Amino acid sequence: MLSSATKLTAVIGNPIGHSLSPLLHNDIYVREDVDAVMLAFQNPSIAELVSAIRALPIHLTAITLPHKESIIPLLDEVDEKALSIGSVNTIINTDGKLKGFNTDVVGIAVALKDAPLKGKSVLIFGAGGAARAVAYHMKECGAKIHSYDRTFKKAQILCEKFGGMALELDAMNGTQFDVIVNASPVGLHPNTDATPVPKEMIKKGGIVFDLVYNPLETRLMREATERGAQAISGLTMLVEQALEQERLWLGREIGNAPYYVLLERELNKQRNK
Ligand code: NAP
């Protein structure tokens, strides 16, 4: 039941209509008996959104595209890991002081928790914000990073920051990587026939991690399974980064609950509309 004591949390972005965050976080609040409600706010101006966070106030904010980088100079403090990644997806408002965090990297670590990465050759396809969080984790784990982006300069910048080799398309031909991570929107609904790499590049016994979670099984994941590789969906990352946001805000553990099932059901519902 909402009351005048109910705390406001939010997801902010532009656009925001596709966000699953309100569904997921509000389900956490019900299950965990937290007197809070999450709403979605769309605004192209990050300055206006930050003013709203301070004024209302919004206690926990989840940030999505395109504001994950531009929000950094507007915060009072930024966690060291988020600063290294150059991307903030979470703000905790403590008595008016806004501190930024990156929980995408926690979602990535959980999704890859059983993957041996030390010394393994990894291809990160796409060199945007999510790719930087992947590269941060790969560097921490001692993997050999290879970066590809259709904007070559972005792949070079990522490698300057995290180490590794920026590749042109031709240089990848015939190469098989131990781990392939799709950190681009290639394959995202409705372009489900698209796939970032030719299936011959997928190594038998290797690992393919697709950050795309809509559809739940992308063409890349399907082809990974066909080739005898392990396919990991972006849904794990999505759920785990959200749970970490709540842990940061509430300062306690969150119990196990069927959050994956909730989001799977919603994604299937959206697709059948
Ligand atoms: P972003 O900052 O826009 O970066 C996307 C990158 O992919 C850009 O560098 C873009 O290059 C590149 N790219 C796009 N199409 C490409 C293509 N055909 N070939 C090569 N590179 C291409 O977005 P992001 O936040 O990093 O997100 C990337 C993907 O991860 C999205 O699909 C997003 O939904 C997903 N994601 C999932 C989670 C999760 O929890 N599972 C969390 C965050 C993001 P240009 O600059 O040249 O366009």
pLDDT of residue 128: 93
pLDDT (mean) for 97-102: 98
pLDDT (mean) for 173-194: 94
Mutate to test the pocket of ligand 1, among 149, 154, 237 (most ligand atoms within 8 A of CB): 149
Whether residue 97 is predicted with pLDDT greater than 80 in this model: the reply is yes
Q: Which residue would you say has higher pLDDT here, 273 or 211?
A: 211
pLDDT of residue 198: 94
Q: Are strands 202-210 and 177-182 parallel, antiparallel or unpaired?
A: parallel
Q: Which of 155, 158, 179 is nearest to 167 (CA)?
A: 155
Tell me the per-residue pLDDT of 73-88, one tens digit each, with 9 for 90 and over. Answer: 999 999 999 999 999 9
Question: Is any atom of ligand 1 closer than 6 Å to the C-beta of 104?
Answer: yes
Question: Is any atom of ligand 1 closer than 6 Å to the C-beta of 187?
Answer: no
pLDDT of residue 172: 83
CATH number at residue 45: 3.40.50.10860
pLDDT (mean) for 237-263: 96
Whether residue 273 is predicted with pLDDT greater than 80 in this model: the reply is no
> pTM (2 decimals)?
0.96
Contact of 40 with 16, CB cutoff 8 Å? yes
Whether residue 234 is predicted with pLDDT greater than 90 in this model: the reply is yes
Are both 134 and 47 inside the same structural domain? Answer: no
Q: Which residues is 90 bridged to in the sheet?
A: 62, 101
Contact of 21 with 40, CB cutoff 8 Å? yes
Whether residue 104 is predicted with pLDDT greater than 90 in this model: the reply is yes
Alpha-carbon gap, residue 97 to 85, rounded angstroms = 21
Mutate to test the pocket of ligand 1, among 108, 147, 169, 184 (most ligand atoms within 8 A of CB): 184
How many C-beta atoms lie closer than 10 Å to residue 62's C-beta? 24
∠ at Cα 121 (226, 139), nearest 5°?
125
Query: Alpha helices of 41-199 — where are they, by DSSP H?
Result: 46-55, 80-85, 104-111, 129-141, 152-162, 169-172
Structural domain contains residue 224: yes
Whether residue 94 is predicted with pLDDT greater than 90 in this model: the reply is yes
pLDDT (mean) for 30-46: 97
Structural domain contains residue 213: yes
Are both 209 and 116 inside the same structural domain? Answer: yes
pLDDT of residue 112: 98
Give me the domain span that covers residue 160. 106-234
Structural domain contains residue 1: no
- The model's confidence at residue 10, banded by pLDDT at 50, 70 and 90, is very high
pLDDT of residue 226: 98
pLDDT of residue 120: 98
Backbone angles phi, psi at 4, to 5 degrees: -70, -10
Alpha-carbon gap, residue 217 to 155, rounded angstroms = 26
Residue 269 Cα distances to 65, 193, 215, 258, 266, angstroms: 23, 20, 12, 17, 5
Residue 88 Cα distances to 61, 171, 187, 200, 273, angstroms: 10, 32, 25, 35, 33
CATH number at residue 144: 3.40.50.720
Tokens matching residue 25:
């976080």
**Amino acid identity of 260?**
Y
Are both 64 and 164 inside the same structural domain? Answer: no
Give the residue numbers marked as catalytic: 68
pLDDT (mean) for 154-162: 97
Are both 92 and 126 inside the same structural domain? Answer: no
Question: Is any atom of ligand 1 closer than 6 Å to the C-beta of 183?
Answer: yes
**Cα 128 to averaged position of ligand 1 atoms, centre (Å):** 6
Per-chain mean pLDDT for the chain: 96
Tell me the per-residue pLDDT of 190-206, one tens digit each, with 9 for 90 and over. Answer: 899 999 999 999 999 99
